[in-house]
Structure 1
Amino acid sequence: MKVLIIIPAYNEEASIANVIQAIRTKAPEVDIVVINDGSKDNTAAVAKATKQAHVITLPLNVGIGGAMQTGYMYAKKHDYDVAVQMDADGQHDPAYLHELLDALSKGEADCMIGSRFIQKTAYRSSISRRTGILFFTWLLKLATKERFTDPTSGFRAANRKVIDVFANYYPDDYPEVETIVLLQRLGYKVKETSVLMHSRETGASSITPLKSIYYMIKVSLAVFMTLLRTVGRTNG
């Protein structure tokens, strides 16, 4: 398969080179594109200096949704079979890339999500983050009738059909949960596989307890709107 790794990055100059090198070491056959999402630091320059990744710089910070849609548009334009999202902070271990890719190559799923919680691992999250994950697991069970153990995971792989969907539309804010509902409602198979994730190499998460509450309310409304939109599409 022709595989593209999409790395959305905002102010990740301290970790981006290590992430690119780790991917190159574990999966030398893949291509890498870094979507520099209007960073105010040297993220783009550091990524380019590795000479191991294509770098697209957005003039403004458009958020994870806009950055990812840019990556999927690039994947579609360059005819990739699979696109894999990986974070720029070093949390996603490229040693598990083939776990995601194998399921797609066998036709077991259209989108594979790397889950931290299918099996017990050394990964530890904050109480507020874990509460949010459990809430979204419950919400998705109601919306899709399926159980997803790690619905906020950004470590995921998509096949050609899903690349086409996301190149045309991708949720613009906190998109991980909403995209699961979107794909499931459009008839695509979304599955999980167990992966080990690491703590951030640098910096700190921007999700505070207060933001977690806002996050849960906003995503819940987005999921409801996605259900309404996809019902209209399927009925039409």
Structure 2
Amino acid sequence: MAPPVARTLIVVPAYNESAAVGDVIRAVHASVPDADCLVVDDASADDTAAVAAAAGARVMRLPVNLGVGGVMRAGYRWASEQGYDVVVQVDGDGQHPAEDIPALIAGLDEADIVIGARFAGTEGVGVSWPRRVAMWILARTLSRVARTRLTDTTSGFKAAGPRAVRLFARTYPAEYLGDTIEALVLAARAGLVVRQRPVAMRERQGGTPSQSTVRATAHLMRACLALCIALTKPRVGADPRPARAMAKAGVA
């Protein structure tokens, strides 16, 4: 008997992304037509939710702004409740190339989490030295924690397989930088396998960037601090049961 086809959910965190989110959803549907798309609107002040719904996505509207960590926690919990096996995070600003989603999903045959890495093979190119140092510290430390070479530890473009979906539905960190740094630490220390695949990120397709070069550098410095804090937290075990078994058991 053939194994069941994995149910895939694309989760799109979106905050005031009405200018780009429609194109993102259409690109997702073109690249992975069998996947469902859930846009989690993080209390946007524009018509992000309406644009997303018109483009064919399911929409979850949050009453207050929670940040990406809170958005993804909601997305993972919903995915778990609905019995999805795979969750792929794709930002709503158009920077993540939807055509690379199938490659990330294919990587789940050998891993629990696959990161779309911007800097694989080109670390530090065109990057200021403070940011380069912070990136090096994050990559070096998390590579040791995950026991694999990682270069883009703050990438939000990633695919999670069944064990990761179950873990994140219960424990996904919602604090500052929890969606990237702490989530990887949590997964690696729970025994999940983390890998990366190179992708070519694009410029945001609409809206206003949230960080200048100086703020982006400060962000990476704070990420180093967040990493130190994450490493002091207790380990959390992964639930080995498949997604559908968990959904039938009523586990959120």
Same fold by TM-score, threshold 0.5 exceeded?
yes
Matched, 1:60 2:64: yes
- Supply the distance in 1 between the matched residues of 2:160 and 2:146 (Cα, whole angstroms): 19
- Supply the distance in 1 between the matched residues of 2:145 and 2:32 (Cα, whole angstroms): 35
- Supply the distance in 2 between the matched residues of 1:85 and 1:97 (Cα, whole angstroms): 9
- Supply the distance in 1 between the matched residues of 2:210 and 2:127 (Cα, whole angstroms): 12
1:163 alignment partner in structure 2: 165
Deviations 1:130-177 (A, max 9, x none): 554334213324544543111111110001111111112222222212
Choose the corresponding residue for 2:86, options 82, 86, 109.
Answer: 82
- Supply the distance in 1 between the matched residues of 2:146 and 2:100 (Cα, whole angstroms): 26
Matched, 1:216 2:200: no
- Supply the distance in 2 between the matched residues of 1:26 and 1:17 (Cα, whole angstroms): 14
Choose the corresponding residue for 1:13, options 7, 13, 18.
Answer: 18
Identity, in percent, stands at 37
Q: Aligned-pair distance for 1:69?
A: 0.5
Deviations 1:17-62 (A, max 9, x none): 0000011111111100000000000000111112x21100001111
Matched, 1:71 2:72: no
Q: Aligned-pair distance for 1:193?
A: 0.8
TM-score, structure 2 normalization = 0.82
Question: Residue 20 of structure 2 contacts residue 207 of structure 2 at CA under 8 Å; is this kept in 1?
Answer: no
- The one-letter code matched in structure 2 to 1:49 is A
- The one-letter code matched in structure 2 to 1:136 is L
Which residues of structure 2 form unaligned runs of 5+? 1-5, 238-252
- Supply the distance in 2 between the matched residues of 1:139 and 1:210 (Cα, whole angstroms): 23
> RMSD between aligned alpha carbons?
2.2
- The one-letter code matched in structure 1 to 2:210 is S
- Supply the distance in 2 between the matched residues of 1:63 and 1:183 (Cα, whole angstroms): 20
Question: Residue 185 of structure 1 contacts residue 227 of structure 1 at CA under 8 Å; is this kept in 2?
Answer: no
Question: Residue 119 of structure 2 contacts residue 152 of structure 2 at CA under 8 Å; is this kept in 1?
Answer: yes
- Supply the distance in 1 between the matched residues of 2:114 and 2:186 (Cα, whole angstroms): 14
The aligned length equals 228
Question: Residue 93 of structure 1 contacts residue 197 of structure 1 at CA under 8 Å; is this kept in 2?
Answer: yes
Q: Aligned-pair distance for 1:68?
A: 0.6
1:48 alignment partner in structure 2: 53
- The one-letter code matched in structure 2 to 1:154 is G
- The one-letter code matched in structure 1 to 2:18 is E
- Supply the distance in 2 between the matched residues of 1:44 and 1:111 (Cα, whole angstroms): 28
**Stretches of 4+ aligned residues off by more than 6 angstroms:** none
TM-score, structure 1 normalization = 0.88
- Supply the distance in 1 between the matched residues of 2:127 and 2:49 (Cα, whole angstroms): 30
Q: Secondary structure at the match of 1:230?
A: coil
Which residues of structure 1 form unaligned runs of 5+? none
